[in-house]
């Protein structure tokens, strides 16, 4: 993306007045995958890629919006019964904007009309949550120019509702939460049951977070996502016959599970095993980060990938190739798929001195194996949604 000054000028040219500027980050989940909708733990961080929104208020109730990435403009009226396009949820980009406006203009906040100009350097559909970055940047812009303020957690919950009801994705709270509440140089441990969180200092020494975009996204992702949610619910139902009082897989300890796992059909047992062990890995990972034990942190990342591949079965050939290639390189502590799976990105922890070699080698070998040159980002942890000057 070009500079903030360019964005200011583009807004001025389009709408004929000066804007305020807002932005929200994409994210990468370091560990804790498919645990969010099981009321478990996740550990994302905001990345150094952001979605920017220039915005100015209007005297009426109209929202006019332009997305540079889509090279398309849209407009609509704020109203109590604002609906998704054609009355049904879809991934059409305008639905994210309509959903955010509809879900924020509620009991907590009152919005006015606005002109918006969107531009982003978060890759779309790469598993780095460009959708939550868009929602958070648009939401914060609309609130700010309407002179509304409030708890960022309430904003995140409204954004999640927008994604459910307007984009039709039944996502957990992680993406909107980190886009709103991320802190520079910290990962964010989120308890997806209580919605409490802890900022965990990202003490990586000379190591860096390296993200490899596989460049693929297989069509079965959303269908399989819903199947996994149903399998976990079925696991809880069956386990509850022996462990009365459990509400979700979050409530099951590994030792308890190992004793009764044989009552479950094979696929369900493996799904549950992933979620239960992954929650434990998150706890160990936070501890390892606090101690600066990168070797152990990396081992947990790699174990998470193995569990997602074998037990949860949400990896794919391209992600497995990227992880395998990464683990073969010098200076790599750990590697795993990140995000929902069936494509998207991997996250790797790599010693700074080895990164150039890593990028060259992994790009070359992945292109040879899969015919795609991967996009590779090296990133620190950024702050969440904000106004930019």
Binding site for ligand ADP (CB under 6 A): 51, 67, 69-70, 91, 93, 96, 118, 120, 124-131, 134
96 binds, among ligand ADP, Mg ion, none (CB under 5 to 8 A by kind): ligand ADP
Quote the CA–CA distance of 248 and 260 in Å, as a whole number: 16
Sequence-distant (≥ 6) Cβ neighbours of residue 272 within 8 angstroms: 232, 235, 239, 249, 252, 257, 261, 264
Cβ proximity to Mg ion: between 78 and 128 the closer is 128
Sequence-distant (≥ 6) Cβ neighbours of residue 360 within 8 angstroms: none
CB of residue 210 vs Mg ion: minimum separation in angstroms? Answer: 21
Q: Does 338 bind Mg ion (CB under 5 A)?
A: no
Quote the CA–CA distance of 351 and 372 in Å, as a whole number: 25
Q: Does 51 bind Mg ion (CB under 5 A)?
A: no
Quote the CA–CA distance of 180 and 361 in Å, as a whole number: 35
248 binds, among ligand ADP, Mg ion, none (CB under 5 to 8 A by kind): none
Quote the CA–CA distance of 255 and 252 in Å, as a whole number: 8
Place of tokens 């501890």: 287
Q: Does 345 bind Mg ion (CB under 5 A)?
A: no
| Active-site hit among 105, 115, 175, 251 | 175
CB of residue 170 vs ligand ADP: minimum separation in angstroms? Answer: 12
Give the residues across from 187 on adjacent strands: 200
Quote the CA–CA distance of 121 and 25 in Å, as a whole number: 9
Number of H helices, E strands in the chain: 11, 12
Sequence-distant (≥ 6) Cβ neighbours of residue 151 within 8 angstroms: none
Helical H runs in the chain?
4-15, 93-104, 130-145, 152-162, 174-181, 221-240, 254-260, 266-291, 294-310, 317-327, 355-370
134 binds, among Mg ion, ligand ADP, none (CB under 5 to 8 A by kind): ligand ADP
CB of residue 116 vs ligand ADP: minimum separation in angstroms? Answer: 10
Sequence-distant (≥ 6) Cβ neighbours of residue 373 within 8 angstroms: 215, 363, 366, 367
Q: Does 146 bind Mg ion (CB under 5 A)?
A: no
User: 384 and 183 in contact (C-beta within 8 Å)?
Assistant: yes
120 binds, among Mg ion, ligand ADP, none (CB under 5 to 8 A by kind): ligand ADP
Active-site residue flag, 105: no
CB of residue 125 vs Mg ion: minimum separation in angstroms? Answer: 8
Pick out residues in 148-207 that bind Mg ion (CB under 5 A): none
Interface with Mg ion (CB under 5 A), residue from 131, 160, 213, 307 = 131
CB of residue 96 vs ligand ADP: minimum separation in angstroms? Answer: 5
Q: Does 346 bind Mg ion (CB under 5 A)?
A: no
Nearest Cα neighbor of 372 from 350, 345, 354, 349 is 345
Which of the ranges 124-132, 145-153, 185-193, 267-275 carries the binding residues for Mg ion, by CB under 5 A?
A: 124-132
Q: What angle do CA 78, 131, 7 make, to 5 degrees?
A: 75
CB atoms near residue 327 (< 10 Å): 16
CB of residue 145 vs ligand ADP: minimum separation in angstroms? Answer: 19
Tell me the two tokens of residue 321.
């190739």
67 binds, among Mg ion, ligand ADP, none (CB under 5 to 8 A by kind): ligand ADP
CB of residue 51 vs ligand ADP: minimum separation in angstroms? Answer: 5
Which 3 state secondary structure label does DSSP give 159? helix
Residues that bind Mg ion in the complex, under the rule CB under 5 A: 129, 131
Q: Which residues are catalytic?
A: 175
């Amino acid at each position: 993306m070009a500079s903030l000054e360019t964005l200011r000028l583009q807004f001025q040219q389009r709408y004929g007045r000066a804007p305020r500027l807002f932005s929200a980050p994409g994210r990468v989940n370091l560990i804790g995958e498919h645990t969010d909708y099981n009321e478990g733990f996740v550990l994302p961080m905001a990345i150094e890629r952001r979605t920017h929104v220039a915005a100015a208020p209007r005297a009426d109730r109209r929202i006019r919006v332009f997305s540079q990435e889509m090279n398309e403009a849209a407009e609509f009226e704020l109203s109590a019964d604002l609906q998704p396009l054609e009355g049904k949820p879809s991934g059409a980009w305008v639905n994210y904007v309509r959903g955010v406006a509809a879900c924020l203009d509620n009991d907590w906040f009152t919005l006015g009309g606005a002109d918006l100009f969107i531009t982003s350097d978060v890759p779309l559909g790469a598993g780095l949550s460009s959708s939550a970055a868009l929602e958070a940047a648009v939401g914060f812009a609309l609130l700010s120019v309407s002179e509304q303020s409030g708890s960022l957690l309430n904003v995140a919950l409204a954004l999640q509702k927008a994604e459910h009801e307007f984009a039709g994705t039944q996502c957990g709270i992680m993406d909107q939460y980190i886009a709103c509440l991320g802190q520079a140089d910290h990962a964010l441990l989120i308890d997806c049951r209580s919605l409490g969180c802890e900022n965990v200092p990202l003490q990586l020494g000379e190591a860096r977070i390296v993200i490899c975009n596989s460049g693929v996204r297989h069509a079965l992702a959303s269908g399989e996502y819903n199947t996994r949610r149903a399998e976990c619910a079925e696991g809880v139902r069956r386990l509850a016959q022996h462990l009365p009082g459990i509400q979700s897989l979050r409530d099951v300890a590994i030792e308890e599970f190992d004793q009764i796992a044989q009552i479950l059909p094979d696929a369900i047992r493996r799904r549950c095993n992933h979620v239960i062990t992954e929650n434990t890995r998150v706890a160990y990972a936070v501890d390892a980060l606090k101690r600066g034990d990168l070797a152990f942190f990396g081992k947990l990342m790699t174990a998470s990938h193995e569990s997602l591949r074998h037990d949860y079965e949400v990896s794919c050939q391209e992600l497995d190739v990227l992880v395998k290639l990464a683990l073969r390189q010098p200076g790599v502590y750990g590697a795993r798929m990140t995000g929902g799976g069936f494509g998207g990105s991997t996250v790797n922890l790599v010693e700074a001195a080895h990164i150039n070699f890593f990028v060259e080698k992994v790009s070359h070998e992945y292109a040879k194996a899969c015919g795609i040159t991967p996009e590779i980002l090296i990133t620190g942890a950024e702050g969440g949604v904000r106004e930019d000057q």
